Every structure is written in C-alpha cells, then in structure tokens.
Amino acid sequence: MERRATFAAGCFWGVEAAFRQVEGVTATAVGYSGGGTERPTYHEVCTGRTGHAEVVEVAFDPGRVSYDELLDVFWAAHDPTQRDRQGPDVGTQYRSAVFVHDDEQKAAALASKERLERSGRLRRPVVTEITPATTFWRAEDYHQRYLEKRGLATCRI
C-alpha cells in the first residue's frame, strides 16, 4: 500500500531530484504546505506572506523503502541547522520541516532528528520543524521535475 511523506528542505527542485532517485519512491510532486492561503502561487509563496514552505510530496512503497530511509535522504539533501534559508535562498518558504501524516511518522521523525543531533556531525543545533501535514498545494507544472527536464538531476545523495 502506497504511503505519503512531505518534506521541506529549501528550494524544492533539488530536493525532488534527490527523492526521485530513491528506489521505492513511486512518485514525487513539488508544491506548498504549512501556510494559510488557499491555492497559493509560486509568486505569492515567494513573498513570504502566505506562510507556506516549498515542499516535496513523496509517494512511496513501504515494502521497498522505509520512512526512516526517506528521512535519511531528507537530512542529507540540505543543512538542517539553517533557519529559514538554504544557501542563497532566504525566507520562511525555504525552512526545514517534516510534515508528518500520522503518529508513526511523527515518532520516526522526532527519533531521527534526535539521532542526528546526538551524532556530533553538525556544529549547530538542528532547527527543523516537525509538524502535522496540512493541505498540499501542487506547484505550477513548470516546477515539476524542474532539474530533470533540464538534464541537471543526476546527483546522488
């Protein structure tokens, strides 16, 4: 039975490309979650006034890839110690967040975050939010598989 996971880790283009390479991921879509505006557009989200984050919604087969493995990809795909930014992208829409769909995902995300914090790999505290999933608003078509369409989605995590 297919399941869903939702992650925010900065600009959604690279994050989507990373998840698309994971065996057991059956589909991805980029979009917006965590805000108050219905049907937000990219330009509205970029203002920072909608409260949304750029996210990747991942459909996966739990018989082929675990949620914990998806969390590992999430942590590796960005710097979870940066608040409201990733690299040159700055604003709340670029925050680090795990949008959990149920209590099982919440427990796994909290445990994974704690393991990362205790690992000593990071010099600063993890600022990633772990919050209940809200409505996923699919981004405009030109954002879907953006890097793949341009031949740039070949990096491996």
Q: Which residues participate in catalysis according to the annotation?
A: 11
Strands (E), the chain: 3-9, 25-33, 53-60, 85-86, 89-90, 96-100, 129-132, 137-138
Q: How far does CA 65 lie from the centroid of its chain? A: 16
Residues paired with 97 in a beta bridge: 8, 129
Bridge partners (DSSP) of residue 33 are 53
- Count of C-beta atoms within a 10 Å radius of residue 151: 7
Dihedral sign computed on CA atoms, order 81, 87, 92, 97:
negative
